[in-house]
Amino acid sequence: MPARTCLLVVAVLVLCAPVHGQKATRIAFDVATVRPSAPGTRGAQRVLPGRIEFVGTSLRTVLFTAFRIENVVEASSPAWLLDARFDIQGTYPAGATAAQVPEMLQTLLRDRFGLVTHTEPRRVDGYELVVGKDGIKMREVEPVDELNHDFTTPSGQKPAVDFVADTAEGPVRSMVIPGEVGSRTVTARSRYETRTTLNRTTLVDATRISMRELVSLLKVNLDRPVYDRTGLTGVYQFKVELDVSQMALRIVTADKDGNPINRDPTGVSTFKAIEGLGLKLQELRAPLDVLIVDKIERTPTEN
C-alpha cells in the first residue's frame, strides 16, 4: 500500500498530545540535507551552536521534537513512522538560535516530507502535576554538570552500563548502579537514581531533578500521560517511594508458563508520595489541543 494511502486511513489517530506553538512559521535551516540512515545506525540527536546533526533518527522522533511533544497517546499509527530513519543535518540562518530548532524542523517536515497537520480538542486521560496549596516541600538546589564525573565506588566498582546519548535536549548519561537493581541518570544540570525494592516499589533518590524529569518518571509509573503544570524551572533534591510501575504491570501479566501473576498491594501510593513533596497529581479536567497528522510522505524530496 502506498505510504500516503496507508496514512490517510488512520490520519485522525496518528498522534495525540498537547501541542504548543502550532502556528505555521517560515523560519528554516539555511542549508539542510536529509538522507536515509544506513541499517543499524545508532540514533542520536545533537543540537549544537549553529547546526543540528540527527543520525539514525525515526521520523516519529523528528515529529515529536519539531512539535515539542512529550506525552503521546497513540491508537493506530503506521509502523513506518518508527521504521523510517534518517540522517538530517541543518545549519541555522543568520541570527537563529537553538531555541528555534523545533520551528525549523517543522518547516523541513513540511517542505521535504509534505507534512500537513491540524489541531483539534480531544479528551486525553491523564494527569496534571501542579503545586499543592501549601507550596513545595522539596529543596531547590543549584544545577551541577556531572556528565564527566567518575562514579567508581570506593571499593573500585564501576557502573555495569555507562553511556552518553545525545538528545535534542542535550547529552544524557545513563548508568546501571553496581550491585543494585537501579539506574542513575545524569545531565548537564541534574542527577537522580531509581531503584526497585523487594516490594516492587520504585525509590527515587534525586540529588538534582527537574520537574520535566520527574514527570517522565511519573508517566512510566502511572502508565498515563502526565503534564507539568507546576511552573517550576529549577532542579530539586528529595527522596520518594512510588508504587509499583503500572506500565510494568501492563507489560508483564503472566509468568514464563503463561500463568497469570497475582499482584498484592504494596501499601504505597504514588499520589500520596507526590503530595509529600508539596505537589499534586490531578486528573485533567478539560480537553487538550492535540496534533493530528493528515499527511506525511515516507520518502523526502531530493536534497
Condensed to tens digits (0 to 9), the pLDDT of residues 43-95 reads 888 888 899 999 999 998 898 889 887 665 554 456 788 889 999 999 999 99
Backbone angles phi, psi at 167, to 5 degrees: -125, 170
Q: Which three cell numbers stand for residue 144?
A: 551541577
Nearest to 194 by CA among 206, 186, 212, 179: 206
Q: For residue 210, give every residue at least 6 positions away whose Cβ sits within 8 Å of its Cβ, in sequence order, or none.
A: 189, 190, 233, 234, 235, 236
Please say if the pLDDT value at position 278 is more than 80. yes
CA–CA separation, 142 and 190 (whole Å): 9
In tens, the pLDDT along 228-276 reads 999 999 999 999 999 988 876 665 555 556 555 556 677 899 999 999 9
Going from N- to C-terminal start, the domains of the chain cover 3-123+287-295, 127-144+189-283
Supply the pTM of this predicted model.
Answer: 0.72
